[in-house]
A and B are shown apart, each in its own frame.
Chain A
Amino acid sequence: MCHEHLITSKQLSRADIEQVLDRAAEIAADPDAVAGRHVGTLLGLLFFEPSTRTKMSFETAMKRLGGDVVDMGSIESSSVTKGESLADTVRVIEGYADALVLRHPKQGSATMASEFVDVPLVNAGDGAGHHPTQTLLDLYTIRESAGLDDLTIGIMGDLKYGRTVHSLAYALTNFDAQQHFISPESLRLPREVVYDLHQEGASVREHDGLEAVLPSLDVLYVTRIQRERFPDENEYQQVAGEYQIDAADLEAANDDLTVMHPLPRVDEIAPDVDETSHAAYFEQAHNGVPVRMALLDLLIGGSQ
Chain B
Amino acid sequence: MSADHELRVSKIRNGTVIDHVHGGQALNVLTILGIDGSEGEEVSVGINVPSDRLARKDIVKVEGRELSQDEVDVLSLIAPDATINIVREYDVVEKHRVERPAVVDGVLSCPNPNCITTDSEPVTSTFDVLDDGVRCAYCETIVREDIADLIDG
A106 and B115 contacting across the interface, CB-CB below 8 Å? yes
Q: Which residues of A, 206-250, contact B by the 8 Å Cβ criterion?
A: none
Q: Which residues of A, 79-131, contact B by the 8 Å Cβ criterion?
A: 83, 85-87, 104-109, 111-112, 115, 126-129
A192 and B141 contacting across the interface, CB-CB below 8 Å? yes
Q: Within 8 Å of chain B (Cβ to Cβ): is A191?
A: yes
B114 and A87 contacting across the interface, CB-CB below 8 Å? no
Closest beta carbon of chain A to B59's beta carbon, Å: 35
Q: Within 8 Å of chain A (Cβ to Cβ): is B83?
A: no
Bound-complex Cα distance A106 to B121 (A): 12
Bound-complex Cα distance A85 to B117 (A): 12
A109 and B116 contacting across the interface, CB-CB below 8 Å? yes
Closest beta carbon of chain A to B144's beta carbon, Å: 9
Q: Which residues of B, 102-137, contact A by the 8 Å Cβ criterion?
A: 112, 114-123, 135-137
B122 and A127 contacting across the interface, CB-CB below 8 Å? no
Contacts of A175 in B (CB 8 A): none
Closest beta carbon of chain B to A156's beta carbon, Å: 23
Closest beta carbon of chain B to A81's beta carbon, Å: 14
A112 and B114 contacting across the interface, CB-CB below 8 Å? no
B119 and A107 contacting across the interface, CB-CB below 8 Å? no
A86 and B142 contacting across the interface, CB-CB below 8 Å? no
Contacts of A115 in B (CB 8 A): 123
The residue on B at minimum CB distance from A166 is B140
Closest beta carbon of chain A to B56's beta carbon, Å: 31
Contacts of A195 in B (CB 8 A): 142
Contacts of B114 in A (CB 8 A): 105-107, 127-128
How many A-B Cβ pairs are below 8 Å? 57
A192 and B122 contacting across the interface, CB-CB below 8 Å? no
The residue on A at minimum CB distance from B117 is A108
Secondary structure type dominating chain B contacts: loop
Interface centre among A87, A111, A195 (most CB of B within 10 A): A111
Bound-complex Cα distance A86 to B117 (A): 11
Bound-complex Cα distance A106 to B137 (A): 14
Contacts of B122 in A (CB 8 A): 85, 87
Closest beta carbon of chain B to A144's beta carbon, Å: 31
Bound-complex Cα distance A200 to B133 (A): 19
Interface centre among A105, A115, A192 (most CB of B within 10 A): A192
Q: Within 8 Å of chain A (Cβ to Cβ): is B138?
A: yes
A86 and B138 contacting across the interface, CB-CB below 8 Å? no
Q: Within 8 Å of chain A (Cβ to Cβ): is B9?
A: no
B116 and A108 contacting across the interface, CB-CB below 8 Å? yes
Contacts of B54 in A (CB 8 A): none
A107 and B121 contacting across the interface, CB-CB below 8 Å? no
Q: Within 8 Å of chain A (Cβ to Cβ): is B150?
A: no
Interface residues of A (CB under 8 A from B): 83, 85-87, 104-109, 111-112, 115, 126-129, 191-192, 195
Known contacts A106-B116, A106-B118, A107-B112; 10 additional CB pairs below 8 A are A86-B116, A105-B114, A107-B114, A108-B117, A108-B139, A115-B123, A127-B114, A128-B114, A192-B141, A195-B142
Give me 23 A-to-B residue pairs in the complex whose CB atoms sit less than 8 angstroms apart, sorted by A's number. Answer: A85-B119, A86-B119, A86-B121, A87-B122, A104-B116, A106-B114, A106-B115, A106-B139, A107-B116, A107-B138, A107-B141, A108-B115, A108-B116, A108-B117, A108-B139, A109-B116, A111-B116, A111-B137, A112-B138, A129-B139, A192-B135, A192-B140, A192-B141
